[in-house]
Each structure stands twice: as structure tokens, then as C-alpha cells.
Structure 1
């Protein structure tokens, strides 16, 4: 295992060095082929110059593959004119030409240059082999040279295609990673916005109920201490409930704190909890009547019930805060097969309240909630006095 790891490290280092010093690596390959040329007897001064000139273009076979090939081809043809010196080295000359053609196939994306290089190399091989002693020997040598050139070009094309494919896969992986990070950030932002809405609804409603209960206890403490004490117990219970909900939501926002041990948490409120909400508001001194038509559909899911609950909660909280003493409120719930319509109306005479989008965070939160269910919400004063909040939600038809 350690031996394989060492070999892997050596391979990685070699590849890193080759990527950083491409020109040096290509010069080393050209020098290696040049050394192989001298396995035969040394040529004269002119032949030595031609041998060196034949290998020099290979140094730029990756940086400038097309010019390097045509320079190699030109020198190879000059070498063929000195056949008396290069006859024993003809296979080596052809090998250099194949290396240059392979470089064009591998590093040049324009296929037109490759086709031109293949034709040029083929013509050169036909000319270089013209000194064959018989037609049979000549045709066989040309076929063999053609096969070698085709193999070099095909191998280069295959490697270039594979490189492009791997590069595309890497780019796609990076793009998917970026998109995944963006989606995660958007999901976190959406979740934080949802938690912020929940916290606003919980804090605003419970504080409003506590203030109303405390006011009522203050008014009755002198003539009915027992009733005032009972009211203050309700204030305490409401405050504890609000603190529990806030701790739960703040725990979701604290990403740096390790998750606590699993425990049973109270479910989110839904359709069945609207009656309890109205009862809590009644204890705060607001007279509320309820009219319900139809029943909610279980297949709508908990999100639908939570949205309806929060809409009623926010509307009644605003009534408690703004409508003044002696106000009566009416909650109408109409359930249909594909959604519901709800309205909360009061007869308060308090100054006008804000409408959705006019600076009120609670009513703006209503608009965000109904938007997730393709719904609408309207809020405004009535001609005869009072205020009405009406929302329509679409949950989808159920078969």
C-alpha cells in the first residue's frame, strides 16, 4: 500500500513538472529522437545540420503544432534529396514526421489543418519511398507508411476528444458545484426568512395578548383580586409559550451550535388549532365570533394549515393592537375542494392601519405567505367603519 502511494506521488509530481515546463519536456523528447538518429554512422557536416534541423521544430509541437509539422515536413524532404546520407536513417526521419503529425492531431482543434497535414505527410511518404527496387516493394511500403500515418493521426484525435470530454466533465462538475452552493444559499435565506416571519407572528401575537391581559388585570385588581390573579397566570402562561417558541426558532438560526439530542417538539399549528387561537384572543378581552363553512382537506398538508392559522393570528393581533376597547371581531372560514377563503372583520374605530406592503411587517408577511399558495390577500378599512382582512388560498384540487 505504501509502495503504491509512493508511486502515485511520483506520477503526480512528474505530471505537475511536465505541465509547468512543457517546452523543456518537448525539447527533451526532441533530443531523445536526435540521439536515436546517431545509432547509425555519423553523417557529414551538412547531414548533421539537417538532422538537428529536423528535430528542432518538435520543441514547439504543442505550442505551435501546425508550423512545427510543416517545418518538419520541409526538412524531411530536404533530407530525402540527400538520400546517399539518409538512406539508413529514413525510418527515423519518417518517425519524426509521424510525431509531428500526431502533435497536430492532438493539439490543433481545427480539423482542416489535420487533413492538410495528413495529405502532406502521405505525399511525402510516397516521394520518399520512390527509390524502391520493385513495384511490389514500393506499394507495400506505401501501404505500411499510410497505415502508420493513419494510426498516428487517429491516436491524436482520440486523445484530443478524450481530453475535451474530460475538460467538459470537469467544467460541468464545477458548474454543478457552484449551482449547488447557490441553491443551498438560497434555501438558507428562504428558511431564515420563514423563521423570521414565524418569530414575528409569535412575538407580536403573544405580546399583544399579554398586554391586553395585563391591562385587564390592572383594571380588575381592586374589585376582584382573584380574577386579576387568574388573568396574570394567563399572562405568565402566554409568556412561557412565547419563550418556548422563540427558543425553538432561535435554535434553528444558530448554525454554529451543535444539534441537541433529539427530542419531541410541539407540531406546527394548523387548521385544528384555530379554535384554540380564538379562545386565547377571547381571554384577552376581544369578542370574536366564528363562522365556518365546510371542512379542510387533509391532503392539503401541514403547510396549508399553518398558513391559515398565521393569517388569522396576524389579523386578530392587529385588531387587539389597533381597534380599541369594546371591539367585536368576526372570523369567516370557507373551505372549498381546491382551497379556502378566510376573512377577519372588526368594527373598531381606531386610526387606519397599514396595508400589505405599506410598512407593516405582519401584513407584508401575510402577502408572502399567501403568495406561496398562489393566493391573494386584501386588507383595508370598511365604509361603515372597522377593518377587514380577506385572503384566498389555492391548495390544489383533490381527486
Structure 2
């Protein structure tokens, strides 16, 4: 709500400034007859009420634009007041517009302009007291204190405005940097996924080549063995094609071309992963429900990485005494991976600097799944990933 209010104020500055000076305008116009009827100096040029109202409007009208054009407004108001003094016209309450204009310059202009406006207002005070009052030291001191107080209030408003603008600029810069870091993390994670999927696809293609060679040797002497080899080629080819389709759109980092490829883990390494985490000091309970056989190696790698990253986050942020639980459920329609813990530091896992959740979400999304990660009610953290189960071998 406050953000919308600030945006409206920025778009309607003239209206806001008019409302702000409305009490001063009403006061000056209401007191015009009294000021004209009782001039400060008997020798001053007395104005009629309509003329005094017109002069008051000329002094107060420019104040509507005091924030947009502070120096021009102050120059106009000070010039009118100087002309009024040169003609010997009696002072009006609207001459306070000079102080309002000086405040606008001090609040919105560089310090040299603020000093100049303060000097002009102080000199104008001296001229006014000399022409329209007894120029005693006490009266001049009191008037000067009033002028300096308004000038200092403008300087303080200027400093505060610059400080707030600096904070807003830093916040915007930090937000842009955060978005850039997220994009960089996403690109790096996609590059790593591409390298890992390269292993999966290369493995499937190697199997196809071996089976094709075997079928070629056995086609004359053992047709049944050749038939089984061709069936294996068909199944492996479909699986490799699925992985290749998922690889489209995942850009690889040019700097990773020379990296040495290594076999990637799968479901068979989950027990070893949990054992290593337990050795690290985090008690983990793991449950696997359903048949996970026949899953493509890429999807096995996704499940492994989700469990690995979630348990790593628990080790880093869970704190002493934390416990974790891993549950993998294989249904007919989807595979659900749940990793939960009861540790502390849940907020740190969704902070701007964490890239682990970004990587997990990228992997799950690439396989057409969804992932939720959030603090648990009562403490701890919960990661739930859902992957479609129709990709396993033998599915209709």
C-alpha cells in the first residue's frame, strides 16, 4: 500500500505540493484585510484589498512547483519581494513565500545553491527590517534564528532524501545482482546436467553398438540370439532417444569441453550415499516403496542428486542433533521423493545465496516433474519431488 502511495505521489507532484501549501495560502489570504488595514510603517505604500490579494497570489502561486523547479521558484518569489521593497509596498503575510522557496532550494539542490539561497533570504530579512521596522539587534537576531532554522531543516531534508535514494539504489543494484547470480547458477547447473546426460546417452549408444555387432555375428548361426539383440537395440534406442529429447535446449559450457567424464551414480548408490551421510554425523532413515526397476539412468541420476543435495543442505544448516528421513515411493503414475529433517536453519536454505534448490528444480523440471521445498511446521525442512513414472522400460 505504501509503495502504491509513493508511486502516486511521484506521478502527481503538483497536486501534492498544492495540498501541502494550502494551509499557508488560506492563512495569507484570510489575513490580507487585516494586514492592509494595519500597515507596519505608516509611510509605506498601502494597497487595496484586491491588489493585496493579487500580490499574495503572485507570491504564493509559484510554490506549487517548488520541488520540480526549486531555484526558479525561489528566484521568482525573491524577485517579487525585492520589487515590493523597492516600491515601498507594505509587507504582506504572503512574503513568507521567500522562506518556503529557500527551504525548497536547501532541500533539493546542491549545497552551493542552498548557501546562496540562505544568504539571499538573510539579506532580504535585513532589508525588510530596515525598511519596515526598527533595526534593533534583538529583532534582527530573532528573525535570523527563524531563517536559519528553516534553512537547516531544508539541509536536513536534503541529506535524508539523498540517504534514502542511496538505499533505494543499493537495493535495486542488489536485486539485479541477485537475479544475475540466479541466472548464472541456472546456466551452470544446466551445463553440469548436460555433461551428466552425455554419460547416460553415451552409455546407451555404446550398448546399441555392442548389441548390433553381436546381432551381426549371430544372425546366421543363432537367429534367436540375434532377435534378442535386436529387441535390446530397440529398447535401448528408445531410451536413448528419450534422453536426447531432454537434452535439447540444455546448453553446454564451452569451458567444460576438456573435463574428464566419469560414470554417474544411480539408485544402486543410494545406500552408499546414506551410509556416508550417517558417517558424517547425521542420522538418516531411508525407505524405498515400490518397484524402481527399469528407470532410465538419467531419471535415476535425478533421484540420486535430489537426495544428495537435500541431505547436504541438512548437514550444512540443520545444526547439532538434527535427524533426516528419505522416502522414495514408486507408484503407477509418478515417483515421489521426500527428504525431510527436524533441524534448524530452514530460512538459510531458501536464501538468495543458495543454488542447491535451483539445481534440484532444474533437474526435476527437465523430466516433466515438480518440486516443492519449504520449512516444516514446527521446525525443520521438507523437499518433495514428483517425477512421472511412465518413462521406465516396458511402459505402454
Q: TM-score, normalised by structure 1?
A: 0.49
Q: Which has the higher contact order (CA 8 A, sep 6+)?
A: 2
